[in-house]
Structure 1
Amino acid sequence: MKLIISKIIAALTELGNLLLSFGGLGLFIITLLDSAFVPLPVVADSAVIVLSAARPGMMPFYVIGATVGSTIGCLVLYWLGLKGGEAVLTRFTQRNRARAQRLLERYDMMTVLISALLPPPFPFKIFVLSSGVFHIRISRFIAAIILGRGFRYALQGYLAVRFREDATRIIKENYPAIGLALAGVLIGGLLLYNLWRRREAAAG
């Protein structure tokens, strides 16, 4: 079984490297596939870094292409969740399904944004599928994906241009901490905003 998994991972990595040879178009396809059906998270993040470091002037276009590709891929999963209902969530544990539902029903857009921002191994796809299953408004879903993925890829692109060959190491060592810190700030801001709304409602 481990041998089969290793071969699958190797094949996916090879596919990602092949697509990467097509530059910006390949990056668009990689991020679309990664967000929709084919798990290529490491290749997707590396592609933004490699291409941006090689052609710094094209970095904004790579970031936009990656963000658009990821958003389209996420919309595919959103649609599957919308049409398939809770049956599409059976691959996840009951605990994780319940947690995703609770967070989405309470914080919809913020939950999707944070999940889009954080790097692997954060369970991103369960929130994308659940957004469709639990009928999160599509405009808020799209906005959250664009903001989360856009910031993530922009940060990677900036670091690639700034540090070139050292960018991968810097991101590998620091991005999880940066992502968690940003998530903490967003969650803290959300809690303060909800507290303010409750006080305003009580005062009114």
Structure 2
Amino acid sequence: MLRKLYAWTLSLAGRKAAEAWLALIAFVESSVFLVPADVLFLPMALARPERAYRYAFVATAASVAGGIAGWMLGYYAYEAVAKPVLEFYGKLEAFEQLKSHVTEGQLNLLLVTSGLAHLPPIKIVTILAGVAHIKLWHFVLSAIVARGFRFYLLAFLLRRYGEPIQAFVEKRLGLILGAVAVGLIVLYVAYHLLAG
């Protein structure tokens, strides 16, 4: 099922309404969808590099708006809506464990790492931020910084290097951003171990 969903999402890049689809995919990715918006963003930015930054803006704005929707699901409708969604994706048990052990500082870190590298998936963190009653303005600011950095970095790389960088972006950029996210987590843990 995931492979078909991925292929379908990729097929949207060639449509006239690709930009609207990008906004929709970026929006729902942040709260309920499995396939990241990058799948659509990459071929669109490669096909029209002069619009790469525009696409980055669309993806960032829609992703932040979707994150707000996820936050609201967690804040206002966890039992009725968010819990069944998490259960559908098989993430409920992991979410419940995370919810019972996460501190506000750890959640702030997760907002950044999920926005940069999907560690953990952004939909988990947006819902968790709502459940934990993280201030909405704080949530929105961190989402703009993390998601904006990711999409604008992709736009910069694709505009500057074009198609030759596509394989690097698809295969290694996620690993590099994942390594940055893990590094941030290690620094956070080390700081708290030394301070405490």
- TM-score range (shorter-chain normalised) is 0.7 to 0.9
* Pair 1:119–1:110, CA change in 2 (3 A): closer
Query: Which residues in structure 2 correspond to 1:1-204 (within 5 Å)?
Result: 5=1, 9=5, 12-13=8-9, 16-17=12-13, 21-41=16-36, 44-86=37-79, 88-89=82-83, 91=87, 92-119=91-118, 122-191=120-189, 194=192, 198=195
Tell me the equivalent position of 1:202. Answer: none
Post-superposition offset of 1:195: 6.7
What do the CA deviations read for 1:31-82 (whole angstroms, capped 9, x no partner)? Answer: 11322344331xx203322232233333222211110000101111111111
Q: TM-score, normalised on structure 2?
A: 0.79
The structure whose Rg is larger is 1
Q: How many residues align?
A: 190
- What residue identity is the alignment partner of 1:140? H
Unmatched tracts of structure 2, length 5 or more: none
Unaligned runs of 5+ in 1: 200-204
More contact order relative to length (CA 8 Å, sep ≥ 6): 2
Q: 1:104 to 1:61 in 2, by over 3 A?
A: farther
Across the aligned residues of Structure 1 and Structure 2, the Cα RMSD in angstroms comes to 3.0
Partner Cα distance (1:13, 1:162) in 2: 25
Sequence identity percentage: 25
Equivalent residue of 2:30, what SS?
Answer: helix
- In structure 1, distance between residues paired with 2:2 and 2:111: 30
- Alignment CA distance shift 1:10-1:59 (3 Å): closer
Given that residues 12 and 18 in structure 2 are in contact (C-alpha distance below 8 angstroms), is that contact kept between their aligned partners in structure 1?
no
Cα shift readout 1:10-40 (whole Å, capped 9, x = no counterpart): 784377446x532434322231132234433
Is the 1:81–1:133 Cα contact (8 Å) retained in structure 2? Answer: yes
The TM-score, its normalising length taken from structure 1, stands at 0.76
